[in-house]
A and B are shown apart, each in its own frame.
Chain A
């Protein structure tokens, strides 16, 4: 079983749609959680950290469920510019473990 698992997609959605990504992690000792965004053939960049209480940044909402070892990302009112791959990332033992990424394509 992979340490961090994501649905690879692709998710194809129309502009304005709401889309949710899920991620599970296997090690209960994981301590910090993130969503990174990666545009085609570019370097990953931090989208948002994921805190135990859940957090929101504009159209983006992240949730963490430590008991179920589950992380989610909700994007509301999708824009064309949201098209990218979204990486679920977990810290563990002083290292970062990446999921394989979920590809999102937002169509006009």
Chain B
């Protein structure tokens, strides 16, 4: 099993550019999510999905879109990059429900810089 994979590992964008961060998992997990991590802020939830065709907003969704057309993939789209979106982005997946103590598996992260 590859687990959770993310591409790219590093990315530099100019303000106003758009791009898609890719996330894929091969564990047949229903739940997938995107977090951003900034110094001193911990991980903050951007968007999440409990299954194909179902997505919902997290704590900091503005400026990001997601879709879940398959169980395996959960891409994160930056619509018009801003310097405030400079961060490390982690994708994670797990079985549901979270309340049943299901472990979250994280990808290696994407380090994004917006100039």
Contacts and interface: CB of A to CB of B under 8 A. Distances in A.
Contact of B98 (A4, A41, A96, A98): A96
Is chain B's binding surface mostly helix, strand, loop or mixed? Answer: mixed
Interface residues of A, number: 23
Interface string B81-98: 000000010100000111
Contacts of A32: 98-101
B24 to A, nearest CB: 15
A91 B107 contact: no
Contact of B58 (A4, A8, A87, A95): A95
Interface residues of B, number: 25
Contact of A87 (B43, B45, B100, B101): B43
B13 to A, nearest CB: 20
Interface string A36-62: 100001111110010000000000000
Interface in A1-53: 4, 8, 31-32, 34, 36, 41-46, 49
A74 to B, nearest CB: 20
B98 to A, nearest CB: 4
B98 A87 contact: no
A100 B108 CA distance: 19
A104 B107 CA distance: 23
Interface of A: 4, 8, 31-32, 34, 36, 41-46, 49, 87, 91, 94-101
